[in-house]
Amino acid sequence: MQQNAPDVAAVLAAENQRSAQRRRVTLIALVAVVLAAGGGWWWWTAGAATRSAQTYLTEAAAPADISVIVVATGTLEPTGEADVSSTLAGTIATVHVDANDKVSKGQVLARLAMGDLDARLAGAIAMVSSQEANLLVADTNRADAEAVLTRTQALSSGQSVSVRELELAASAAKRAQAQHAVAEAQLRAARADLQAVRNDYDKACICAPIDGVVLEANVNPGQAIITSAGLGQALFVLAEDLHRLSLEVDIDEADIGSVQQGDTASFAVETWPDRVFAGTIRKILFAPNIVDGVVSYRAELDVDNADMLLRPGMTATADIVVDNLDDVLSIPNAALRFSPEVAAGGSLMGGMMPTSSVVSQSGERSVWLLRDGAPVEVKVTVGLTDGQRSAVSGDAIKAGDQVVVGTVAR
């Protein structure tokens, strides 16, 4: 029992030593936290003066032209285009034009082989002659029958002929009249057939329906046109005078209400990136174009292509001017979004939150003018904007006033 006593004392001494070490570590940690908090507070208070010292960025209120623009994309097309095909089966005998050739209305573009048509035309002419002869015979027979009937009727008054003879004469006259009517109908049918053959004969000449330029020539001599698909195939594609083109653009449904017939536009094409071309809206279609749930409306613009730099099919991006003000007092839109920081004494979080100017019910907005180095709030009425600058009016602002658009910490 005496030997165990020193062991108990050693254990107690060791436990006391560990407790003292834990207290020292805890104390050191508390001191570190206090020092860190104090350092942070010193850093914040020491930098507050620096943060509060700011340089105001300004721009002058100045006259400018303000235009509201609607952007639309589309392609250039001829003002008039015609697909020329053959409506008659046959074989192409000759081709008289090629792509890029200028043609006039009625000019021969190509011809079909005429062998079968010549034979059909000769047969139709002969049939008309035959039916004309038949009609002449029928006319003579009718005249004879009517003469016999007249004589028989005259003799019947004196009872020189029987009733039977009178009936036979009347029947013969009616048959002659019927045969004459048949001959007339057959002649009309023959003449109609002749006209149809002549029409086909004319169709053997594939001619230009308009004045213009050949955009495509998809036919060669010897080419056979015998199927329904071949009859509908465009052999030539003609465009009217390419000195005037049509720009067809799709306008988003959100913008279509502001676009009107007669609005002017400027556009560019990839071929001439450094040039700007002009156009005027000729027509706005009511029919919607719906693609993947997006609704747009087609507008057609007249384009002057006197220098022939533009070609059908080119893609264009157009800026359509839907409203415009010339030489009006304007300010940058950034000035409408600026507001000074929360006044001294405000909450820290309040100073960190973004702020913006407020639109009052009267339509006025607050902007800040730099006067004597400090921003001064004034009210202005905001008008048309082009996305970069806005027209403003009011007694509190004039040309040359420095409008605050932002700050830079010093």
Q: Is 49:314 a contact under the CB 8 Å cutoff?
A: no
Q: DSSP E strands: which ranges in 232-335?
A: 236-239, 244-252, 264-269, 272-291, 294-304, 315-332
* Per-chain mean pLDDT for the chain: 82
Q: How far is CA 193 from CA 14, 126, 163, 256, in A?
A: 132, 11, 45, 55
Q: Is 347:405 a contact under the CB 8 Å cutoff?
A: no
CATH topology of domain 70-79+243-324: Elongation Factor Tu (Ef-tu); domain 3 (2.40.30)
Assess whether the region 55-64+329-409 and the region 70-79+243-324 belong to the same CATH fold: no
Domain boundaries, given as residue ranges, for the chain: 5-49, 55-64+329-409, 70-79+243-324, 82-107+213-240, 114-203
What is the crossing angle of helices 163-203 and 115-156, to 10°?
160
Q: DSSP E strands: which ranges in 41-125?
A: 54-60, 62-78, 81-84, 90-95, 102-103, 108-112
* Tens of pLDDT, residues 191-232: 999 998 888 888 888 999 999 999 999 999 998 887 655 566
Q: HSE on the CB side for 195, CA within 13 Å?
A: 6
Q: Which tokens is 144 given? A: 């004879």
279 strand-pairing partners: 265, 303
Q: Which tokens is 409 given? A: 């910490």
> Taking Cα atoms as reference points, which of 175, 70, 197 lies closest to residue 128?
197
Task: Please state whether the predicted TM-score (pTM) of the whole model is above 0.85.
Answer: no
The rounded distance, in Å, linking the Cα atoms of 111 and 156 is 68
CATH topology of domain 55-64+329-409: 2.40.420
Q: How far is CA 55 from CA 278, 346, 371, 375, 410, in A?
A: 44, 20, 13, 11, 7
Q: Is 338:368 a contact under the CB 8 Å cutoff?
A: yes
- pLDDT < 70 positions in the chain: 1-27, 29-34, 36-54, 157-161, 227-232, 341-363, 409-410
Eight-state DSSP code of residue 341: P
Eight-state DSSP code of residue 343: P
The rounded distance, in Å, linking the Cα atoms of 312 and 247 is 9
* Tens of pLDDT, residues 61-95: 999 999 889 999 999 999 888 999 888 888 899 99
Percent of the chain with pLDDT over 70: 78
The pLDDT of residue 345 is 36
